[in-house]
Structure 1
Amino acid sequence: MKDWPYPRWVAHRGAGKLAPENTMAAFRLGAQHGYRMFECDAKLSADGVPFLMHDATLARTTNARDIFGPAASNTGGDHSWSELAKLDAGGWHSRAYAGEPLPTLENLALFCLANGYHLNIEIKPTPGTERRAGEVVARHADRLWNNAPVPPLLTSFQPEALEGAMSTAANLPRGLLLDTLWKGWLETALALECAAIVCNHTLWDTSTVTQAQSAGFKCLSYTVNDEWAAQRLIALGTDGIITDRVDLFAPG
């Protein structure tokens, strides 16, 4: 990207841990704290609807076991959207959010577009669906943000998902997520024509920032919840900080 249109501060999964992650309540709360960009996790239902959830399985952040029985350790990809839409995705967090539904990617897109917010969509494939998830999420994002002044940033730990996104909507910016600096990380990001590299914040130092920025990438970090870590990353000249602590860091 010639110009980087995104703010430095990004609210992780909407409002970090202050509200049930990846729900509309969380994004609204993050916005109330002044955040203008959010990170979310998108995966596919069995019938191909992109919806928001981080985990491979439903058990941690929904009442799926109450609805579907003990087999709710199954993935979201095992159920149609009409089934998933019945789940409570807020009660696990606190009683104040009981009954909060799972949102689709379209729900969040409409909220962001109506309010001028930016979005980082992490593609979270059900294992075995990496390329298809990238294709479908990118197709929906391209449709939803059609002609919008700032497109969403599509990221993934899975190169296959980013390949699918690139083949479907090459115009949408991509970012490679890294939890370790595995062999060939820089070359892979170049091959995927990424705009950014998004690292576990501990991986950034003078050397890695120089490597990435010299190759033309923006440097983003997750998940930064301590003042000292944020100051270190700012001093290194990195470009984006993803945080749970929307109550601690004023996005500016």
Structure 2
Amino acid sequence: MTQANTTSTALPHWPYPRWVAHRGAGKLAPENTMAAFRLGAAHGYTMFECDAKLSFDGVPFLLHDATLQRTTNGKGTAGERDFGQLAQLDAGGWHSRAYAGEAVPSLEQLARYCIANGYFLNIEIKPTPGQEEETGRVVGALSARWWKDEAVPPFFSSFKPESLEGARATAPHIPRGLLLDTLTNGWLDTARQLECAAVVCNHALWNAENVAQVHAAGMRALSYTVNDAWAAQRLIDLGTDAIITDRVDRFSPELWRG
């Protein structure tokens, strides 16, 4: 397995690298497609972030939006289609002609790719509205099965506490992270109640005080989506633990170890 990032010995073991490729290769390839993950790997990344939701027939697949039109040639709510229908869509042509015909992958396809190559995975549970807990339960159960023989499981994250609860119910051993785009009252208590291993914030929210709070609670401090060198250096100087980026062409995991 690829060498991972280490930080303070006072914190629980964290087996994941510092640098995480957002949706595969950020904006350099069509997000959440296998082409994007292969491109991220070609730039030296060994950990990827992806978005997972459920098809109508209960198959976890990769898509960020609730609807299809931004990143495929389909229309309507993605979760209202069976996976067989979703797999027929063009998920690459919107990005560029070079990627026309890229398919919408299942989460299992990406899991097999990561396991075969020794890569790490951050699965953001991104449910269709109304399916928060169910999506967490299904993603948790299947991930526990797919990674059952692996030393390092995936890492779950979600903006939806119900999704993290669902994942905890079916895969309690797989670490979880609460995603935040604002620091609402009680955010740290919510992360504690969910027994999270990390808090994943919009990078601009981190400062020395809240990084110290998260670490004192035994959790890691992760950041999204970091595309500028000054922002990355600020986070490294603050002692945060992982950085999710679109700019796999700008940040070399080998050179930016921190």
TM > 0.5 fold call? yes
Cα displacement (A) at 1:140: 1.0
Residue from 155, 158, 174 that aligns with 2:157: 155
Please say if 1:236 is aligned against 2:238.
yes
Q: Which deviations, in whole Å up to 9, do the C-alpha atoms of 1:49-106 show, x marking residues without a partner?
A: 0000001100000001xxxxxxx2x211110011111100000000000000000000
Q: Which deviations, in whole Å up to 9, do the C-alpha atoms of 1:137-160 show, x marking residues without a partner?
A: 111111111121110000000000
Please state whether the residue corresponding to 1:5 is helix, strand or coil: coil
Residue from 229, 232, 239 that aligns with 1:227: 229
Q: Which deviations, in whole Å up to 9, do the C-alpha atoms of 1:107-159 show, x marking residues without a partner?
A: 00010000000000000000011000100111111111112111000000000
Q: Which residue of 1 aligns with 2:181?
A: 179
Cα displacement (A) at 1:183: 1.0
Please say if 1:59 is aligned against 2:61.
no
Q: Which amino acid aligns with 1:234?
A: I
Cα displacement (A) at 1:2: 3.1
| TM-score normalised by the chain length of structure 1 | 0.96
How do 1:180-195 and structure 2 match up within 5 A? Answer: 180-195=182-197
What are structure 2's unaligned runs of at least 5 residues? Answer: 1-10
Q: Which amino acid aligns with 1:75?
A: T
Q: Which residue of 2 aligns with 1:17?
A: 27
How do 1:87-236 and structure 2 match up within 5 A? Answer: 87-236=89-238
Residue from 28, 36, 41 that aligns with 1:31: 41
What are structure 1's unaligned runs of at least 5 residues? Answer: 65-71
Q: Which residue of 2 aligns with 1:245?
A: 247
- Contact 2:12/2:218 (CA < 8 Å) preserved in 1? no
Q: Which amino acid aligns with 1:191?
A: Q
Residue from 44, 50, 56 that aligns with 1:46: 56
**4+ residue segments displaced more than 6 Å:** none
Cα RMSD (Å):
0.8
Q: Which residue of 2 aligns with 1:67?
A: none
| CA distance in structure 2 between the partners assigned to 1:141 and 1:87 by the alignment | 25
Q: Which amino acid aligns with 1:195?
A: A
Q: Which amino acid aligns with 1:8?
A: R
**Percent pairwise identity:** 69
| CA distance in structure 1 between the partners assigned to 2:185 and 2:138 by the alignment | 28
Q: Which amino acid aligns with 2:42?
A: Q
- Contact 2:137/2:163 (CA < 8 Å) preserved in 1? yes
Please say if 1:3 is aligned against 2:5.
no
Q: Which amino acid aligns with 2:49?
A: E
Matched length? 244
Cα displacement (A) at 1:229: 0.1
| TM-score normalised by the chain length of structure 2 | 0.94
| CA distance in structure 1 between the partners assigned to 2:72 and 2:229 by the alignment | 32
| CA distance in structure 2 between the partners assigned to 1:76 and 1:149 by the alignment | 33
Q: Which residue of 1 aligns with 2:4?
A: none
